[in-house]
Amino acid sequence: MSDPAPYQEACMNDADCSGQPQSDIDPQETSEWLDSLDYVLEQHGIERATYLFERLRDRLGERGAQVSHSINTPYVNTLPVSQQPPYPGNLELERRIRSLIRWNAMAMVVKANQQRPGIGGHISTFASAATLYEVALHHFLRGKDSPQGGDQVYFQGHAAPGIYARSFVEGRLPEEALHRFRAELNSDGRGLSSYPHPWLLPDYWEFPTVSMGLGPILSIYQARFNHYLQDRGLKDTNQQRVWAFIGDGETDEPESLGALSLAARERLDNLIWVVNCNLQRLDGPVRGNGKIIQELEAIFRGAGWHVIKVIWGSDWDALLSKDDEGLLVKRMGEVVDGWYQKYVVEGGAFARQHFFGADPRLLKLVENYSDEQIHKMLRGGHDPRKLYTAYKAAVEHTGQPTVILAKTIKGYGLGEAGEGRNISHQQKKLNEQELREFRTRFSVPVPDAHLTSTPFYRPPTDSPEAAYLEERIKIMGGPIPARRVTVEPLTTPALDRFKEFLEGSGERSVSSTMGFARMLSRLLGMKDIGKYLVPIIPDEGRTFGLEAFFRQYGIYSHIGQLYEPVDKSSLLHYFEAKNGQILEEGITEAGAMSSYIAAGTSYATHGINMIPFYIFYSMFGFQRIGDLMWAACDMRARGFLLGATAGRTTLEGEGLQHQDGQSHLLASAYPTIAAYDPAFMFELAVILQDGLKKMYQDQQDVSYYITLYNESYQMPTMPPNVEEGIREGVYRFRPAPDRAKHRAHLLASGPLVNEAVRAQSLLLRYGVAADVWSVTSYKQLRMRTLETERWNLLHPESAPRVSFLQQTVEQFDGPCVAVSDYVRLVPQQIAPWIPGGLLTLGTDGFGRSDTRKALRRFFEVDAEHLAVATLYTLSRRGSVAANLVMQATRDLGVSPDGEAPWHR
């Protein structure tokens, strides 16, 4: 095969692309400069040489030269052999242990697909990453019993079979568990989930990572939250580290790299990323025409991270030491990843011809190497010595987060079955010959007679391997992964401590957002729980009326405040502090949600009941970061999600992109989210108190989603005996003031309760006495009723149970109409249980920039439309004549013409 055209990288990937003339007008002088540099390196070391280089570059800049700052280093290991420490472990025993884990991981997936064809699973990811994990687990990752405190480890999701296999070899998991990989439902709860899921294996996995990109961003905010706990004096986390093992293809996800600068700004030297650069994603190369390691190096260095590249294994050291002219390093740098992948597949002869054959002097370097030797020359990510060197440097580095870019081979060890091939990610089965080659390559003690059954193999308890594993696990502080919940419940405030909010606002008009701000202030001031609260704001504090908290509680910054704010003379000036309590995240809902997750799971990760209050534009919650919210549910996060400026017609002026009419519909699909839509301060107080008790006193794994509004109106006093209804989802807020010929029931939530009250008065003109019901949670009503119906279905011989909703609707003595500031599907959640059916009005369609009054008329959810809709339901029952409905449309200015709002 002919050699490709010489590869030219972009300047960001080529240390020689300086924009300066490349011809050397005085080679002798150049040689003298280089000799001087070599002298400094030999006599005084790298630090001195680097210092001199930086001073020379500064001087050039001072003289007006356009000095380029290369953000790439040559395509070799960052740490040379001279900086490689002795390996502290038993390399041979670790190799044998690693080989057994490889075998069991492969056997688990193969066996699952033999027994249940098509069930899936992944072999190749762990095959590429086994050494990355094993060196870290033997020597760096600290378990929960470590005196320094356990590390938090984000495992690459597709590598889960390898992590299960290690737990089996350790003796943590029984063989039966491996037989039940991806067979959870027929396993009495003892099956193994496909990927890391704390909801499914709550004593094992800590972090769900297989939704690409979430593990990386979560790890950054977890590391920052560890500093937060330390800086606020809540827990000593100084020796705890956060490790994230991610794939190179995963870095294409915006969440993966979007928060890199935060880690650098906050100096998160407790954070280490290990990027498994196996050069392949699911369908093909990550960067076939480029070099993913060089690309990532530039990105991370530009963001302020410490970068360690582990590209070449020890087999390459001798060749590099002979590369006096730099030809080998040059060739390494000019070959693109697509060719490196092909070298793995085509073998040593091809690599000799194509890689080394580019220059006769390179061929000379390997003239004594066989083709097989060339083919088996390790990449850095498969060499324990190189990885140990990188890990040790990472944990010792201070002042910056560290990323290790480790080059590996996807499907390493699978041979013809998938090593380095584009199909590798989908490989689920191996034939007998492929199994035999795998067994032989890794010296697994499985006889030929048993090969086709792919038996699991655990070393005997008295074997050197078992003894070594047991010793290392003990030294490192216990097995990983492990999730423990040992937190003590908090005593949460009783409802009477919210007394002022139960009594209403009198003549003063306030919004529910303002009411929440006052309640949050009250909670922060409570000595028993105030210090555990974590207010989280994505750069909207002033919008939500929370700016008073800036000065009183401080905005958290690991480095404090290095400047005087422009509003220093103001009482409410912007105040950053190392012990600040508020997490002001800037314009990043994903980052703020990651902080919520770190705080909301601290009861498990740190044994502390932290109480996050994340307040955000409701439109930019579930719709924008629903994947992170799903992960929070999986992680059993606890806390309060406050969707402010809510409601498609209540948020006036902002228009189509900001007006939320669907968050409660989206929230209905999240299993651990309790969703509430309060209209009044007393409702909000009851819900907050209930949430605090359930999550932090009763220790229930739920989160509360509560919508808040910026419409101000007088807040009434709480009616008697409505607390249960508020918690359960519905109560009668205002009975009909007078008797009338006809009866009806109006359901509403949020500010539209006020429209229902107005409609109540309008209906009296037409002889209709309507009760107004405040629905605080359609989701709660629906789910509790579904639970009741399911129990009844499965227990037909027992007396049927009746849900709170079913008890309530027994009081309905007329038609029922619901109005919502959300799409109609939100109130329709309870339609099956409403006698005579439920007519719903909602805000289906795109929002508009206008006033609340105009918006409610446009979406047909104002009092006038609600009154007409109620009369219509009565006419359908034959209670009133149709001409009365038409008369009402004329009286109330409701137009029967025009397209529906969702078409406009």
The reply, when asked if residue 552 is annotated as ligand binding, is no
The reply, when asked if residue 66 is annotated as ligand binding, is no
d(CA 49, CA 757): 79
Tokens of 96: 């044998």
d(CA 417, CA 431): 8
Q: What is the DSSP string of 471-508?
A: HHHHHTTS-SS-----PPPP-PPPGGGGHHHHT--TT-
Label the pairing between strands 768-775 and 509-510. Answer: unpaired
Tokens of 215: 């593990």
Residue 817, helix vs strand vs coil = strand
Q: What is the 3-state secondary structure (H, E, C) of 762-814?
A: HHHCCCEEEEEEEECCHHHHHHHHHHHHHHHHHCCCCCCCCCHHHHHHCCCCC
CB 640 within 8 A of CB 688: yes
The reply, when asked if residue 226 is annotated as ligand binding, is no
For the chain, how many residues are written?
904
Report, in this order, helix, strand and coil percent for the chain, each rounded to 5: 45, 10, 45
Handedness of CA 32, 38, 41, 42 (dihedral sign): negative
From residue 102, alpha-carbon distances to 442, 466, 571 in Å are: 8, 16, 62
CB 311 within 8 A of CB 407: yes
Residue found by looking up tokens 């399911």 in the block: 790
The residues, ordered by sequence, that sit 6+ positions from 86 with a Cβ below 8 Å of its Cβ are none
Q: What is residue 687's DSSP assignment?
A: H
The residues, ordered by sequence, that sit 6+ positions from 207 with a Cβ below 8 Å of its Cβ are 152, 153, 154, 155, 196, 198, 215, 218, 635
Cis peptide before 401 (omega within 30 of 0): no
Residue 279, helix vs strand vs coil = coil
Bridge partners (DSSP) of residue 247 are 276
User: Residue-wise over 568-599: b if at least 16 C-beta within 10 A, else e?
Assistant: eeeeeebbbbbebbbbbbeebbbbbbbbbbbb
Binding-site residues for Mg(2+)? 248, 278, 280
Binding-site residues? 248, 278, 280
